[in-house]
Structure 1
């Protein structure tokens, strides 16, 4: 079980960075259902970081955290049941592709930023009850085109499928082992407790 500590550390560090990004550095004020808003953090007021850069960093970190969660379950599955299977050759490309998509999934939206004047008019029509205080801020609209949102939706679905796939594989293999008595009852109980503890934390 010691092999999981680096994956847990990876998740811990990712969560810390995301928390700091959302609560201190960027502090995004979202305006939904349009994909817009404005930052209230120190990156805006102290350092003048462009809004698009802040959006990119925070959105990327969100999916990095989710990937870290997926990899914890993948590591448990690999260490316990797949060390001598085909998966040992596929897991590294799987990890690299996941992180690559985390970093690049937002690029289509970044290259298709709408004209902010037109986008704001669209936002005001869609949300006519926006307060004057909100309108006085420098609102940034990421997109008014649904097609730009497709990568976000696909990424979210992908992460859900991956997470539940590894959880399902773990449960299936544990049940098979318990029936075949391949491991002692004490070992199985320890593995179940550790697995349930991970699920409870994430």
Structure 2
């Protein structure tokens, strides 16, 4: 049996993600430059939190698009990798764990930036100042270890492969010849840790958002903060919410398909490939939104690209004159 479409092939997956990483790296580095050297004094309190979020967002992009390049045979939790780590013979079990940790650390970095806002605005005056460091340390440690149950219970590969190929339709010979790795036969070992991690971080994020806006409303009524300060903080929080929410909404598309695929036992390899391409684009969207939504970075982009466009325009006009 041959692949029905080029979109189904490992070659398409590798090519698409390689092209993406070539686009992503310069944009990510420009984002790092803006955060480090163009963050104004008024945003100094969130500078390192934004850098932390950006680094882990960039890390997930690199993990998917360069280091691993997953080729997943979903709805089976099985597949193989085509990235740099495979070229260096890094076991696929380690690669799967790395991707899970990168996703966890990215989610924790979102909670961290919200916690930082709450602490800067209100928490320094409350009991939270004594709890924040243990809270943050717990989150980062949990992100590093939450996937360990799935890793510990990786199945015997020989029998697991037979089960995977039994549940999937007939596949191209190239897939049968590939070093397919089975992450799990029993989904509980994967779903339960991911469910606990995601729900914990969503609950934490929601709590901080409620606390921030609740305290703002209370301070506004008491007039303990000026209207200008409240207005600026609300504007900045809206920018942070957009910066984190839009990429997460983008991730919901592939995640929604993967859940549907599992429930109805649907196997479309081209859709699987496109899901991981969208996941690999997450950080790129996040960086572009960050550069656009925050006014200081937007001004840097205008200056840099306006100068470039003017330079190109002058060059073309000189060429036209010579001709």
TM-score between the two structures when normalised by the length of structure 2: 0.60
Shift of 1:95: 0.6
Q: What is the aligned-residue RMSD (CA, Å)? A: 1.4
User: Which is further off, 122-131 or 53-62?
Assistant: 122-131
For 1:1-202, what aligned pairs fall within 5 Å after superposition? 1-45=43-87, 47-149=88-190, 150-202=192-244
Listed one character per residue, the Cα deviations across residues 79-119 of structure 1 (whole Å, up to 9, x for unaligned) are 11111211111111111111111111122222211111221
Deviation larger for 29-38 or 73-82: 29-38
Q: CA deviation at 1:25?
A: 0.9
Q: TM-score, normalised by structure 1?
A: 0.93
The number of aligned residues is 201
**Offset, 1:163:** 1.1
- Runs of 5+ consecutive residues of structure 1 not aligned to the other structure: none
Q: Of Structure 1 and Structure 2, which has the larger fraction of its residues in helix?
A: 2
Shift of 1:129: 4.5
Q: Which moved more, 1:72-81 or 1:147-156?
A: 147-156
Q: Secondary structure at the residue paired with 1:33?
A: coil
Render the CA deviation track for 1:40-94: whole Å, top value 9, x for unaligned: 111112x111111111111101110110011000000111111121111111111
Structure 1 ranges of 4+ moved more than 4 A:
none
Unaligned runs of 5+ in 2: 1-42, 245-323
Pick 1 or 2: higher relative contact order, CA cutoff 8 A, min separation 6: 2
Cα distance, 1:146 vs structure 2: 3.0
SS of the residue aligned with 1:29?
strand
For residue 19 of structure 1, report the CA deviation from its aligned partner.
1.0
